[in-house]
Amino acid sequence: MKKKIFKLPKATLERLALYYKTLQNLDDEEVVMISTPELAEILDIQPEKIRKDLSMIGKFGMKGVGYDVINLKLQIGNILGLQNYWRLAIIGAGNFGTALANYEKVTDWGFIVAALFDVDEKKIGEEINGVRIYDFKKFAPISRRKLIDIGVIAVPDAEAQKVADILVEAGVKGIWNFTAAKLDAPKNVTVVDENLMIGLSALSFYLNQNTN
């Protein structure tokens, strides 16, 4: 069966992740059905936008009844590729690396933290949340053995490109970049930047508009 390829705007993609999170919460609360207006109310997003987003990925729900929570969650998870159980390696067992290794949402959403890497000899051999810290010098062979799909870069900015090059060379397909560095990578490697300052700047902007 040929896989269907979706081209989705970034904003839609981000909202799909939000819907997924909300449906997961609803499922935890044992809610079985949810209507678009209810979802809109919870998420503070216009119902038309939700309908449009969902229409882009398939046909869901029944008029006047709403969506089956578990089914919609599975369908969205499927589009987001969450059924693939992507295997992550976290590079840098500092504060962020440790926080991410302990971040339960990562495993809740079906990702597997398969290894941590660091260059600090005091850290190598230790475990965080049951995951071992390996010597980053041995990244390529360990990455192959552990079938790593995604490398999470949580090292100082100045080291980021060097780390990215080693990840790419070792055959990692995706990079989740927690540094402020703009990474160069070949086209077949997907890089997603996690820039925390965007959220904090947005907050600053809104506060600044509200201040008299």
- Exactly one of 82, 119, 140, 170 binds its own copies (CB under 8 A); that residue is 82
CA-based end-to-end distance of the chain: 60
Q: Which is nearer to its own copies, 17 or 32 (CB)?
A: 17
Measure the CA–CA gap between 150 and 189, rounded to whole angstroms. Answer: 10
Q: Considering only 66-74, 93-101, 133-141, 159-167, which stretch makes contact with its own copies by CB under 8 A?
A: 93-101
Residue 10, interface with its own copies (CB under 8 A)? Answer: yes
Residue type, 131: V
Residue 205, interface with its own copies (CB under 8 A)? Answer: yes
Q: Considering only 2-10, 114-122, 130-138, 160-168, which stretch makes contact with its own copies by CB under 8 A?
A: 2-10
Q: Hey, what are 15's tokens?
A: 């909202």
Measure the CA–CA gap between 189 and 167, rounded to whole angstroms. Answer: 10
**DSSP-derived 3-state class of residue 67:** strand
Of 82, 86, 163, 157, residue with least CA distance to 118: 163
Q: What number of chain residues touch its own copies (CB under 8 A)?
A: 66
Measure the CA–CA gap between 134 and 124, rounded to whole angstroms. Answer: 5
Q: Which is nearer to its own copies, 61 or 110 (CB)?
A: 110
Interacting residues with its own copies (CB under 8 A): 3, 5-6, 8, 10-11, 13-14, 16-18, 20-22, 25, 42-43, 79-82, 84, 86, 94-96, 98-100, 102-103, 105-106, 109, 111, 149-150, 173-176, 180, 182, 188, 190, 192-212
